[in-house]
Amino acid sequence: MKRYSKKEPLVFVYVMVPYIIIMNILIFGGCIFGSLALFLKSFGISAIYFFIIYALFGTVAIFIQKRFQEASDLFRRISIMLPVFYLMNIGAIYAVYFLYDHFELLSCKPKQEMLWWTILYGCIMSTVITFINEGLANWENWKNSLSESEKLKSAYQRSKLLGLKGQINPHFLFNCFNTLSGLIHENPQRAEAFLDEMTKVHRYLLRSDDDYLVSLQDEMKFAAAYLNLTKERFGDAINISMRLQPASLAKKLPPLSMQVILENIIYTNALDKKTPLAIRIETNNEDQLSISHSVHEKVIVKDQLNLDEGLDNLIMKYRLLDAKEVIVTETDNQRDIILPLFEKNVVPA
């Protein structure tokens, strides 16, 4: 049987024993105490019967919980559950009296004058059990939300660390300065443009990324500058295509997402002018950003193994944000990464 909360079995154990004893006293009076065997028999029969009834109640509760599962639906859930449970109690107690009246299960006969008192007791206990289970379920959800919030904060702290690695990556800096040095002598104007792109990249990397999400427009400005630096370094060995719908630029995504993805693409693929690396970035609809690139096998050196960690961290970040999954599909010739876009900013509790 599905549980309303993880603690529901304990609720059943602690509540059902006194519940059954009091219920039998209401139905049979002091007759059940005529002998130990009679008491145990009445308790056993009632335990089996009310366990089945409890399972039915639990099934109904789970069904209602699934229909109204948000925390804000608490009073709505209870306002639906209780009337349903009261009707079920009336039916269950009438069925108990019917069984004991028409089948000689016990030597004791049910007291008809206590019928409605028994129903009232059943309704009161249903109310108590409902509030206990709701309280425990909400307590568990609250603890889980705290845990998820801590995981999210941890993931973002790790993303900041990965961003910091990008800021001080000696290979990246060395390659950029080496390219800049060559351009200064060959083409001062291109050198000035290259330096401007470097400034944009590092300004974005040095930005305060306390926000959990940034606009796609800001992220793509960084991506464009980063790719311009890459294009200047590798020339015709890389082809870049961007096609973004204007309506999607206001959407949100985690900061430095493009840094993680682009570094993964650039440093895990071999670059050759004969077979250029093709990167295509587009919004295939207003809610998704698609990054596709051709695959060129390259021997990964030990220093580059952490690139996959950055991508894994980005995927985990999306999971903690309760967003749609990041989709990564790969064939022998192409890999596609699809990032869901958010409508608004997210601030975990």
Query: Amino acid identity of 237?
Result: A
What is the mean pLDDT of the segment spanning 179-199? 84
- In whole angstroms, give the CA distance from residue 132 to residue 126: 10
**pLDDT tens-digit profile of 26-76?**
888 888 888 888 888 888 888 888 888 888 888 888 888 788 877 677 788
CATH 3.30.565 domain locations along the chain: 169-340
pLDDT score, position 338: 92
pLDDT score, position 203: 81
DSSP letters for 172-213: HHHHHHHHHHHHHHH-HHHHHHHHHHHHHHHHHHTS---SS-
pLDDT score, position 168: 47
Q: pTM of the predicted model, to two decimals?
A: 0.52
User: Which architecture does CATH list for 169-340?
Assistant: 2-Layer Sandwich (3.30)
Q: How far is CA 66 from the centre of its chain?
A: 16
